[in-house]
Amino acid sequence: MIPKDKVIVSIRSKSGSEDVYKSKGDQQLSMRIVVLVNGNSASASELLTGALKDYGIATIVGTQTFGKGIVQSYFHLSDGKGWAKMTTDAYYTPNGVCIQGIGITPDIVVDLPEDLKDTSIDMLDPAKDTQLQAAIAVFSQQAKAPETAMR
């Protein structure tokens, strides 16, 4: 999905060191991609969404993601009687944005109706799922557009 040797995510420590993770594959998809996200989209799903959005590979539809953009590490206490969990690093998208506490804003913001927000996704009627319907509409519009019109 992401062209070879492109940054997918950077992890920066509080000490200033940085690890950069790049794509390895060289196969690009020839199809259009629409990604559905909401406030339950967190951590790794946000990293992939951020990379797809930053490179203009996918259209992101839904609501703001959770904003889980930190790495927490466990350290064994010196007395041997426990562990401590501390935030040690932060994730950054290819464009250098830290999503912690902010999340990712979709290209097309579509909320669920209030009466459906607490409904489990497997119980949602697809016809009433406004986010799914918006994603299908975007995909349908993109499928009709000439390739040169895509970003």
3-state secondary structure 115-133: HHCCCCHHHCCCCCCHHHH
Interatomic CA distance for residues 76 and 140, integer angstroms: 53
- Known active-site residue 41: no
With 0-12 / 13-18 / 19 or more C-beta atoms within 10 angstroms meaning exposed / middle / buried, residue 135 is buried
Strands 83-92 vs 7-13: parallel, antiparallel or unpaired: antiparallel
Which residue of the set 10, 41, 53, 54 is catalytic?
54
Which residue of the set 22, 68, 107, 111 is catalytic?
68
Which residue of the set 43, 45, 107, 111 is catalytic?
43
- Known active-site residue 79: no
- Known active-site residue 15: no
Catalytic center residues: 43, 54, 68
